[in-house]
Structures are given as C-alpha cells and as structure tokens.
Amino acid sequence: MTVQFPHVLGNFTDALQARRLTGHSIAMYSLTLLAIGALYMVLYGIGQLMNGHLGRAFEYQLRERLFLHWERLSASYYHRRSTGDLLNHALNDVRAVREALSGGMNILFNAIFLLLSTLYMTFRTVSVKLTLVAIIPILFVPLFVVFFGPRLRDASRQVQEALSDVADLTEESLSAIRVVKATSNEAVEARRFRTRLNAIVARQMAMFRRSATFQSLIPLMGSISFAIALLYGGYLTVSGRIHLGEFVAFTLYLTMMIQPLQQLGFVFNNFQRASASLRRLTVLLTEQPDIADAPHPVQPGHIKGEVEVRLREYRYPGGNRAVLRQVQFHIPAGQTLGIVGRTGSGKTTLVNLLPRIFDPPPGAVFIDGIDVRDLALADLRQAIAYVPQDGFLFSTSIGENIGFSREAATQGEIEEAARLASIHEEIVDFPQGYDTLVGERGITLSGGQRQRAAIARALLKQAPILILDDSLSAVDMNTEKRILENLRRVRRGRTTIVIAHRLSAVRHADQILVLDDGEVVERGTHDELVAAGGVYASIYAMQEGGAVG
Amino acid sequence: MNWDHRAPAAGSGTGAGMHSLTRLLPYARPYMWNFLAVLGLVVIFNTTSVLQPYLVKIAIDDDISVSHPSLHGVFIISLVYIAVVVVGVVANYLQILLLQYTGQSIVQRIRQDLFEHIERQSMSFFDERALGRLVTNVSSDTETVSQFFTQFFLSLIRDGLSVVMIVVAMFQLDTHIALECMIVIPVIFAISLLFRRQLRQRYQTTRTRLSNIVAFLAENLAGMRIIQIFRQEDRQARAFADLNGLHYRANVAEYRLSVMFNRSLELLGNVAVALMAWVGGTAVLHHAILFGTLYAFISYIRQFFQPINSITQQWNTLQSSMVAAERIGGVLRVQPAIVDPVRPARVKASRVRGRVEFDHVWFGYRDGQPVLKDIHFTVEPGQFIGIVGATGAGKSSIMNLLLRFYDPSRGSIRIDGVDIRAMAQADLHRLVGMVQQDVHLFTGTVLDNIRLFRDDIDEEQAIRAARTVGADRVIERLPDGYQTQLFAKGANLSMGERQLISFARIVALNPRVLVLDEATANLDSRTEAWVQRGLRAVAENRTTLVIAHRLSTIREADRILVLDRGRIVESGRHEELLRLDGYYAELHKKSGIEDGMQVYGLGPRMQRGNRGLLGPGARML
C-alpha cells in the first residue's frame, strides 16, 4: 500500500510540472495520499497486532512448558543449577525469543515486503535500467549478513558469559563475606571484581565494534545506491529519457528501501541473540527427568508403612564419594525410628531416598516389601509426609500452607493439624488469623513457627510414613515435648522417622541410629545407647547440660 | 541478563525513580567530554541526514528542472552527496562506539562502587537481606541503568536534535509554510498526553504481573522438593497458569495500546504529508515556491515523524531504568553500621602481644533481646581459652564481637588495652583471625585460596603455611597440586580438605589472636586426626579462643568460660571447675568422660587415647 505513495507523488509531480493541475486536482491528490496513508496505517497496525499477539501467546506457552518441565525434574537437578540461572531462562531467554518472533518477524516481513514491492514498483513505473544500475550496492547486503552473522552471535555470547562471571563472583564473594571481613580482604575482592568488570567492557566493545560496522555498512550501501540514482537518474532526466516525476518517485522509492534495509540489520542482530537464547531453552527442555516411574509400576494396594533399607552404598549422581555406606535397618509398620549424627553425616540424604527425592540404587529401599523404585511416584509419595529441615513455606497464607497437601482440606482439618503442631493458638492470635500471609519463604514467622507450620502441613496429609528432618530444632523444649506427645498419639500405628540434633526429640523412639560419616556406628533404644557410653551418650551429656538448648 | 521487571520496590513511584536516577548522574560527570563529543557526532550525522534531501532539491531545482539542465552540476552534487553520506556514516559509527564505551564505563564505576559499598557493610546488613537480591542489584539492575545512559540518552539527543534540525531546515526553506507545518506539534503533544497515562498504567500492570511470575517461579523452584513430595504439581501448575495468563493479558493490552499510539502518530504524519501536498501544491501552482522546495518539505515532514516515534519507544527504557536506579539507590543509601574511626589508633602488628579484654559487654542482634549479658573476662597473651555452653548460649556472638562484625550495645572490647573500635578494621583483622565451621572457597587455585589472592603473602609463605598445618600432603595429591583450580560451589574437596586449607589460610595470615568456631564439628572421624594435628600447629604462639562443642577439646585450656543464656556462669581450669561441682561439673559427669576418650565426634574407631584437641601441646601455650 505504502509503495503507492511515491507513485502518486510522482504523478503529482509530473502533473504539477506540466501545469495540468488545478486547485481541485491538487486536493484530490492530497486526499488520495491521505487515503493510502490511512489504509496502510490500519493494515500495518493489524499486522503488528496479530504478530504481537502471536509472539505473546508463544511467550505464554513457552513459560508454561518450562514450568511443567521443571516440575518433573529431580532434586539433583536443582542441586546443580542455580535458581537465578533458571529464572534467567524463563525470563530473558523467553523474552528474547518472543521479541525476535513478534517484533522481529513483523519488521522482517514488513521490510522484505517493502523491498520486494518497491523493487516491483520501480521496475514497473520507473526505468528498469535505472533500477538495475542503482540497486547494485544493495546486493552486497546479503554478503554482509553471511559474514557478520556468526561473528555477532559469538561476540554476544562472550558478553553474556562475562556478565555471568560478574554475577558469579558477586555471589561467591558475598557468600563468603565473613571470611572477607575477618581478613579485611575487601580491597582484594574489589580488585578481583574489577578485573571481571574490565572483561565485560572489553567484550562489550568488541561486540559493538562488530555490530556498529555491520549496521553502518547497510545504510552506506543504500546511500551509494541513492547517489548512483541521483547521478544516473539525473542524466536520464536531463537527457529527457525519463520524466522528472519518475525521477522523483524513484528517489523516494530508494529512500523507502533504505529504512527496511536498516531494520533488516537490526532484526538480524536480534535474531542472532534470540537464536542463542532458543538454543539455551532447547537444552533446558530436552533435559530428561532422572527420576521417573518404572515402566510397569507395582500396584501397592494399601500401604502399611513398613520400611526396610539394605543400602550398600549411595553416591550422589556424578559424585565420586560414597555419602552413605552399609546402612541397614528395618522399621516395622507403626514404629518410630530416630536418627542422630553430625552435620554432613548423611541423615538427610538417607531419608530423602525414601520418597525418591534422591534415587536409591535398585534393591536397597523397600516399603511394605516393595522396592520404592518399582512404585509409581504418585503412589510412593502419597504414602509419605515430609517435614524439611528448613520448614520451607510458600508465600501464601499460613492456612493455605498447612492445607498444601490437600486442596480439598476443610478449615476444621487445617486447624486440627495446627493444634497437633502446637501452632493453632499463635495463628489465632495473628490479626488475620489463618489468612495471615507468611511472606517470602515464611519470613514473617519465627523459625519455630515456620517449623511447626511445616509439621502441621505434613500431619494434615495423614500418610502411613512421616519423616521429620530435624524439624524441631527451633522449637523450645516445652513445645517440643507437647508436639512429640501429640505425635505419639496421632501417629499410633503409623511409621515415623525423626532426624534430630537434639536428642530429646528421639529419646522415645523404638529404635535410634547414630550416623557418622555415612555409616551407622551405633543403634538401639535411648536407654541402651546411654548405657553403652558411646557417641550417643556423650552427645546426650553435652545437651542435657545445656538444658534450655 | 536482567529481569528488570522484578518486584517494583514499594513506593517507587515515578518521582522516587527519577530522583534515584539523578542521584546516579554524578557517575556521568567525568565523562562530560565524551557526551559532548557524542553530541557533536550526532550533530554531524544529523546534518548529513538533513542535507541529503536538500542536495536532491538543489539537483532538481538548479540542474535538472531548469531550461538548460546541467549534467555536470548533477555529477558534482552526486559526489558531494556521497561525501556527505560517508561523513555521516563515519560519524555515526564513532558515535555508537564512543557512547557505548561511555555508558559501559559509567556502569562499570557504579558496579564497582556498589560492590565495594556492599562489602563495607557490617554483618547486620547481610542478616537482613537475601543474597540473591544483592547479586541482582550488582549484575542486572546496573545493566538496566546503563540503558538509560546509552539508549535513552542517545534517543533524547539524537532524536531531539533531529526534530530541531528538521524544523530549522524547514524555516530556512520557507518561513511561511514551515509555520503552517508547526500545527502538528501541538497535535503530537495532544496525542501523547491522551495516551501517556494509560500507557504508563498498562506498563506498570504488566511489570507487576511479570514480577509476580518471577516471585512465583523463584519460590517454586526453591521449593520444588516440597511440591513433589506433597504431589501438588498439578495445583502449582494451575496457579502458574493463572499468573502467566494474567501477565499475558496485561502484556497484550499494553502492546495493543502502544501500537495504537504509534499508529496514531503515523496517521498524523500521513495527514501532514497530504496537507503539505495540498498547501504546497497550491503554492507551487501560484509560483509562491519552487517545486524542489515542495519536494524537500514533503521529505522533511516524513522525516519529522521518525524521531518522534523513536523517542516514544524509549519510554519503557526510562521507566525500567528508574526502577533499577531506585533499587541501586536503596542499597547505596545504607550507611555501613560499622566504620573506621576518623583517626584510628596506631597498631603495629609485630608489637601486639595479644591480651584480650571483654569489659562488661552487652550485646543483642535485636533491641531488647540481649544475647550476651555483662560478659567480662581477660585473656593474657598466648593463653588458650575454651568457651562452652549450650546452643544459643552466646558462644558465637563472642567471636562476632571480637572480630567487630557487630558492635556491643554496652561495654567495650580491648586488645592490648586499645578499644577495638578505636582501631582501623584492617588493623584489627590483622591482629584477630578466625576459623569458621563452614569453609568458603573462592574460584581460583589452591594457592590463591590459601593466600586469598593477596599480594602481601607470597607463594613460598603460602606453601610453608600449608606444610605447617599438614595440608601439603593433601594438596600434592590433587591433580595440579597447588595450581589445582577450585570452585566456590563445586565440591571438589571434602570437608576435611577444605578445613585444612582454611587452617593454612590462617597460618599464612598469622594473626596474634585466633578464634576457632566449632571448627571440627563438621569433620568425619577419618580426617579428624590430621586436622587436629593441623590445629595444634595453628594455635601455637597465639592467644586462642576455642568455641567448643566437646569438652575434650578444652580440657587442657588455661581457662574455660562456661556460658549459660548469655552470661558467664563459671570460669576456671578444668580441674577447678570440676571441684566447683556446678554447671560444668554436671556437663562433664553426664558426658561420662573420664579420660577424654569418648567424645562426640570421635567415633569408637578413634578411641586411641586422644588427649583432646590440643593434647600435650596445649601445655606449651
């Protein structure tokens, strides 16, 4: 549509020159121009909107797919990847692809269409010879694209890497801030930071040198074309072979071609970046979940909660050190097992093998005599309730957090679970009660409240097996006692595993394991272990002395 | 690299954002000349663009559309045209590079300052903030702000200048017609005003909804284990779909409006051209102007709308940079809670003997909740002091205060009689060193990690330090020995190996006073033996305070401080405390330790008559 514009203007010029124009026909020409402009605007706008919608719908679906995919990946995956990096994928890479797709496509199609139709119009309405001669420099543009493409992509990747480097160093340095401060090493850290920053500047400049050259060459070619048109077209006009109107139209056509050419360069830059992003996303989406259902899962029927572990050795995926060795124990259904041991002795890893957060080797972990690997993940996890070490909560209301395990849980059930976890009274005292928002990761609650909310959440699930991973550490002694009493009552006949640093949490267990460096070094009941005078006894002495703990 | 749409800080309206941006302007001041040069280059480039239609006009009016057309003239004009274009392209190229360099340099300075500012903060700053947020401030918020200095600034001067120059050129050509053209300016303003409010609102909505997505993702990725264990994948996926859909709709609505805005401006441009053809055409008809002039006017009016459009596109850049600047400003505004005194006491490390005094010290992390109450003790140079007590009794807080991570709320702490608040922190930290429970490694070689990248510790010293604590055997087993690359996150060393490196670190730094915080609680029994040997070497010839979890560790101490709920309840040598028959004696009795053999952490396999942490060596202190 817009390509008609110079044509009309050209006719207008010729008519004007030939003095064939009246006031009336001038107005007609103006109206034609206006109509063309308006129509173009509407059509272009519609195209833009369609493209924009398409791109945004794509963005929506890509994020959806990413999230669904992430939900299938296991803990060891999250062990390896930082949340920041994953967020980067979901935000920046997705956006880069969308921008290329919607804005880029739009400009690209527009530019290509403009170029082609402009060429067509020039061939048809203006001298073919003039067009052919003038177009020569523009023909170099594809060569530039081929030449600069990989170089631009490479430069852009290097910039991204340098930026990641800075983020990594910042994270590293700030995590070690105590060491840095204790050694007054701030200046040294600042120097290390500076060298990373210098790398960014150097790489950014290398990239801009390339992209600026690329983006300058295109208009340069366009302008040379224009100069040729001016010279050759001027010659043709002067020698009377074409009309001035044709000349005017042609120069206008050429200026119309320069802009799409510039845009092509810009879009091309974007595409290079987007293709790098798309590659990153593809890598992410093709990651196979390493913990998945067995091909033919066993139908367990009703799970009673008997647990048997016969583990020879466990290493983390890709790890070269065995974190658990020769761990063997048996929990009859309905009994309570206590596990104690130092940080890093393997307690958490051990209980994570049960719900297959980490995957045990075949023939090592059994529930009701069935290898957990042979159960469908849904059945397996349905049978286990878990209270994590950090009492992880979502930033919803405290009621929603407790009801997390069952969407259909009634308020009554939620309150009952909260009562069992000794947190109901405190929740009721909050101004918003159960609707109190707990903030990012439960930050508005105290450590003890977080842990008790997490316990309530697990109790609501009423699973045959309950795992408490050191989840009473921030709760004071009296409350701990109350919770433990409640647990003994409601968990009667159901299996419970309690990891603890504080022995008071395990002293009533039917069986206690003492873990050291991935091995069971002592086992027995509280009384037996104290009497044995081993590791357990010494921890007990230390802690009982510390009374309030 | 930037997810710049993260949670808009509460109360960061346009005003606050603008204010924060202007607060960052001093970073641009040293680059005044660069900006002026950019301005000059933009002027040159714009001049060449404005000249181009004018040259065509000359060609048409003077050489082609005259009674005696001159090919020679056209030739000259074409050459001039090419020259003008080349000048323009070169100016543009230089301008891009110069401006990017300037923008990058400014951001580099902001980043550096921000990083150093954060590192200067006291520990209470880090207690209150999420690490990830700070990393985002340093890495991506700064990147967003850089767009202000490059994209927005460039657009403002380049496009602003284009508009001005086009207007000037029009007036040069024909004042009368130019004046008539100026009608479009109020119309542009009117259209902008009409859309602006709505545009901003929709932009904010989209951004808020995106930040909700980010928050949701961050939380759910961190809590994926919980989702999977409780089998709530479907429910969370639905919740995500809701947020995602909300964002999608807001995003489309915002986009639709901005398309409408830009198309309205374009329509205005087309109307202007049509009007020009009408008005100008009539003028040509009446010989009021030449045809070439009309041609130029039509070109100009079309050119006029390009920069206008481009400025409006920068609107979002401005908004996001303001948000980012606000967040950076939020960090930069925080004054470090602990600063060096104006005139620090002069401390000569070699002269310091290492006498440590706590003088009626009170301290709490939060007001009204004291963790340490009236702590009062003196450690003579070279003494070995044990601190015991239950979790939360305040043991670690004593270390935190001695290193001045926090200041006491009452009382004072002195080294060789000098209040540590009177010293420069760098001097203090030369005197006092610590070994933490968890060892942090830095990305770099083993050697770098021992000398902490410092110039004042040479390779030989570092290796000697490693040998002293017995880390050399471990290090030599590594693939590249001392040059082996270590990574902060990659656990390519075991806990014990890490601990040995941290011992070597402290020996290389050679402080007069050393605090060990439960340093061996993390070790497996196998590595325990050689780590203990290392520790013995570290403690030699220094005033040493050990925060103990095991009584055996401190049996041989010159004095044991027994802490209970923030107070020192007993103090004395092991035997004295036993004789006292109080809290410590009770602790000891319960532990069933008679000869220091059966202690927490020393598994049964280790019972080989180990005489506690320092063994006989402690006597030497």
Question: Radius of gyration (Cα) for chain A, nearest Å?
Answer: 36
State mean pLDDT over B298-305: 81
Are residues A391 and A280 located together in one domain of the fold? no
- Least confident window among A74-83, A457-466, B359-368, B589-598: B589-598
Give the model confidence (pLDDT) of A201-254 as tens digits.
999 999 899 988 988 888 788 888 888 887 887 788 777 777 777 777 777 777
Residues A270 and A402 in one domain: no
**CB contact at 8 A, A371 and A354:** no
- Residues of B in Cβ contact (< 8 Å) with A357: 225, 228-229
**Residue A15 belongs to a domain:** yes
pLDDT band at B293; cut points 50, 70, 90 = confident
Lowest mean pLDDT among A69-73, B139-143, B365-369, B558-562: B365-369
Under the banding of pLDDT at 50, 70 and 90, the label for residue B5 is very low
Least confident of A10-24, A58-72, A136-150, B347-361: A10-24
Residue A186 lies in a domain: no
Average of pLDDT values for A22-37? 81
CB contact (8 A) between residue A216 and residue B89: yes
Q: If pLDDT is split at 50, 70 and 90, which confidence band does B13 have?
A: very low
- ipTM, two decimals, is 0.81
Residue B4: what pLDDT? 37
Residues A253 and A325 in one domain: no
A499: β partners: A339, A469
Report the CATH number that the domain containing residue A256 is assigned in CATH. Answer: 1.20.1560.10
Cross-chain residue pair B604–A345, CB shorter than 8 Å: no
Predicted confidence at residue A470, as pLDDT, reads: 83
Indicate the helix (H) or strand (E) that contains B562.
strand B559-564
Task: Render pLDDT for A336-386 as a digit per residue (tens, 0 to 9).
Answer: 999 988 766 788 889 999 999 889 999 999 999 999 999 998 899 989 999
pLDDT surpassing 80 at residue A137: yes
pLDDT at site A193:
93
In a domain, A198, yes or no: no
Summarize the confidence of residues A126-143 as an average pLDDT: 80
Q: By CA distance, what is A536's nearest residue in B?
A: B600
Amino acid B601: pLDDT: 36
Task: Please identify, in words, the CATH class of the domain defined by B358-598.
Answer: alpha beta
Confidence of residue B597 (pLDDT cuts 50, 70, 90): very low
Among A368, A250, A417, A456, smallest CA distance to B295 is for A250
Q: Where are the alpha helices (DSSP H) in B8-70?
A: 14-24, 32-58
Length of chain A in terms of residues written: 549
- For chain B, the domains span 14-332, 358-598
Q: What is the pLDDT of residue B613?
A: 38
- A175 falls within a domain: no
Domain contains A497: yes
Task: Select the highest-mean-pLDDT range: A436-440, A523-527, B368-372, B527-531.
Answer: A523-527
Asked if residue B10 has pLDDT above 50, the reply is no
Q: Please list every residue in chain A whose beta carbon sits closer than 8 Å to the beta carbon of residue B604.
A: 521-522, 534-535
| CA–CA distance, A125 with A105 (Å, rounded to integer) | 29
Residue B361 has what pLDDT? 93
Q: A206 in contact with B at a CB cutoff of 8 Å?
A: no
| Least CB–CB distance from B593: residue in A516, A522, A538 | A538
pLDDT tens by residue, B147-174: 888 888 888 888 888 888 888 888 888 8
Put simply, whether A517 touches B (Cβ < 8 Å) is yes
Q: Identity (one letter) of the amino acid at A141?
A: V
Mean pLDDT, residues A439-448 taken together: 71
Evaluate whether the domain defined by B14-332 bears CATH number 2.60.120.330: no
Alpha-carbon distance of B8 to A536, in angstroms, equals: 51
Query: Helices B32-58 and B71-120, interaxial angle, to 10°?
Result: 160
Q: How many other C-beta atoms are found inside a 10 Å radius of the C-beta of residue A374?
A: 18
E strands, B331-483, where? 356-363, 372-379, 384-389, 410-415, 418-419, 432-435, 444-445
Say what the pLDDT of residue B598 is. 33
Does one domain contain both A279 and A386?
Answer: no
Nearest CA to CA, how far is B65 from chain A (Å)? 7
**How confident is the model over B72-115, as pLDDT tens digits?**
777 888 888 888 888 988 998 999 899 999 999 999 999 999 99
Cβ atoms within 10 Å, residue A129? 12
Domain carrying residue A531:
307-545
Q: Residue B227: which of A42, A71, A179 has the nearest Cβ?
A: A71
Tokens 């299996």 locate to: A495
Do A28 and A73 belong to one domain?
yes
Q: What is the structure's pLDDT at A458?
A: 93
Indicate whether A377 and A500 sit together in one domain: yes
For B515, the closest chain A residue by CA position comes to: A182
Closest-CA distance, A469 to chain B, in angstroms, reads 13
At B356, which amino acid appears?
Answer: V
> Do the domain assignments include residue A129?
yes
Same-domain status, A397 and A484? yes
**Residue B477, both tokens:** 């087993």
| Over residues B560-588, mean pLDDT | 86
Cβ atoms B111, A201 nearer than 8 A? no
Mean pLDDT, to the nearest integer, of B361-368?
A: 84
- Is the pLDDT at A5 greater than 70? The verdict is no
Check CB contact of A73 with chain B, cutoff 8 Å: yes
Residue of B75, B259, B524 with shortest CB distance to A48: B259
The answer to whether the Cβ–Cβ distance between B274 and A34 falls below 8 Å is yes
pLDDT at A200 over 50: yes
pTM over 0.80: no
Which residue of chain A comes nearest to B389, CA vs CA? A546
How close B151 comes to chain A (CA, Å)?
Answer: 13
Q: Are residues A21 and A119 in the same domain?
A: yes
> How many whole angstroms separate alpha carbon B594 and alpha carbon A141?
88
Tens-digit pLDDT profile for residues B535-569 = 777 777 889 998 876 666 677 788 999 988 888 99
User: Which residues does residue A325 pair with via DSSP β-bridges, in sequence order?
Assistant: A313
Residue B600, pLDDT score: 36
| Selection from B53, B274, B496 nearest residue A28 by Cα | B274
- d(Cα B306, Cα B295) in Å, to the nearest integer? 18
pLDDT in the model for residue B621 = 32
Q: Say whether both A280 and A312 belong to one domain.
A: no
Task: Identify the residue with better confidence: A101 or B603.
Answer: A101
Averaged pLDDT, A400-422: 91
Residue B6 has pLDDT above 60, yes or no: no
The segment with the largest mean pLDDT, out of A67-76, A155-164, A530-539, B119-128, is: A67-76
Which residue pairs, CB below 8 angstroms and at least 24 apart, start in A173-176? A173/B115, A173/B119, A173/B442, A174/B118, A174/B119, A174/B126, A174/B131, A174/B134, A174/B135, A175/B131, A175/B440, A175/B488, A176/B440, A176/B442, A176/B488
Q: Which amino acid is at A376?
A: A
pLDDT at residue B287 in the model: 78
8 Å CB contact between B320 and B5:
yes
- Give the nearest partner residue to A231 out of B75, B299, B495, using CB atoms: B75
Q: How far is B147 from chain A (nearest CA, A)?
A: 13
Residues A135 and A100 in one domain: yes
Q: Stretch A521-529: mean pLDDT, rounded?
A: 91
Band (pLDDT 50/70/90 cuts) for residue A441 is low
Class of residue A199 by CB neighbours under 10 A (exposed 0-12, middle 13-18, buried 19+): middle
Strand order in the sheet with B418-419: B372-379, B356-363, B410-415, B418-419
Q: Provide the pLDDT confidence category of residue B591 given band limits of 50, 70 and 90.
A: low
Q: Is the per-residue pLDDT at A402 higher than 90?
A: yes
Q: What is the pLDDT at residue A454? A: 93
Do residue B285 and residue A23 have CB atoms under 8 angstroms apart?
yes
Q: Which of A41-55, A198-212, B388-402 shows the lowest per-residue confidence on average (mean pLDDT)?
A: B388-402
- Same domain for A374 and A281, yes or no, is no
Q: Are strands A365-367 and A307-315 parallel, antiparallel or unpaired?
A: antiparallel
Q: How many contacts does A have with B, using Cβ atoms within 8 A?
A: 440
Of B248-252, B282-286, B292-296, where does the model show the most confidence? B248-252
Instruction: Name the residue with higher pLDDT: B411 or B389.
Output: B411
* A255 and A375, same domain (yes or no): no
pLDDT of A466 strictly over 90 = yes
Residue A543 contacts residue B392 (beta carbons within 8 Å): no
From B512, B518, B578, select the one nearest B542 (Cα to Cα): B512
Is residue B49 pLDDT above 60, yes or no?
yes
Residue B615: which pLDDT band, with cuts at 50, 70 and 90?
very low
Higher pLDDT, A351 or A470: A351
Domain count for chain A:
2
Q: What is the pLDDT of residue B552?
A: 66
The answer to whether A447 faces chain B, any CB pair under 8 Å, is no
A17/B207: higher pLDDT: B207
Measure Cα distances from A32 to A26, A121, B58 in Å. 10, 18, 28
Query: What's the mean pLDDT when you consider all of chain B?
Result: 80
Average pLDDT of the residues in B53-59 = 78
Radius of gyration of chain B (CA): 36
Identify whether A381 is part of a domain. yes
Residue A116 in contact with partner chain B when CB distance is under 8 A: no
Would you state the pLDDT for residue B550?
Answer: 64
Q: What CATH number should be reported for the domain holding residue A508?
A: 3.40.50.300
Give percent above pLDDT 90 in chain B.
16
Which residues pair with residue A385 across a beta bridge?
A466
Helix runs in A89-183, H state only: 94-99, 105-125, 128-135, 141-175, 177-182
Surface-to-core class of residue B26, CB atoms within 10 Å of its CB (0-12 exposed, 13-18 middle, 19+ buried): exposed
Phi, psi for residue B357 in degrees, rounded to 5: -125, 130
Task: Provide, as residue numbers in chain A, all residues whose Cβ is less than 8 Å from the Cβ of B119.
Answer: 173-174, 177, 180-181, 186, 189-190
8-state DSSP, B455: S
